Structure 1
């Protein structure tokens, strides 16, 4: 055993607790100082946290500083007949559709009739 570990084992519970509180205080102060230093560096590099908009205050700001444009709502094009889950056809395919396609079904079997007519009307 090292000498320091032996010293700690011989200390009373009160002394150990006092040492623990002293160490916790020092750690807290150092963490606070480090956080302030990092915030200063961040402010110098990118204008601080002002670059990130709060979603409740309005449109989100992109990293380039321009507000993000609003995208139109996309209607669902596919429906899971068992659970009535829907998918718009954008993004990653949902698990239920991937599983159904692996079992030999075709994607057109899940297509909603309404989606086809609306797409044709727009075109």
Structure 2
């Protein structure tokens, strides 16, 4: 049922399937699959999926560790007023370890991503 909703583009179902894959709940754990489903929900503007995707980039789970991409997704989650998790705090923690040039580039990417309706995020 969840996978059918995922294929139909239901962002909430996609995020849940990402969580199942990330935690190995009822299915084989696969961080790469978790990233796939988090991204599918994140590009639809689902702030919590953006937060979880940022975490995957921050930790290098299912994707190469990439502080700039982690910052981008945490930044988007914070911009989308995610309050259940500390997206702004996670973004700021990542930013504290970035050069000013890398930070400016990550902020520009987040702006371009948001301006494009999440179609230009990579």
Q: Normalising by structure 1, what TM-score? A: 0.24
Larger helix fraction of residues: 2
Greater RCO between the two (CA within 8 Å, min separation 6)?
A: 2
Radius of gyration: which is bigger? 1
TM-score (norm 2): 0.24
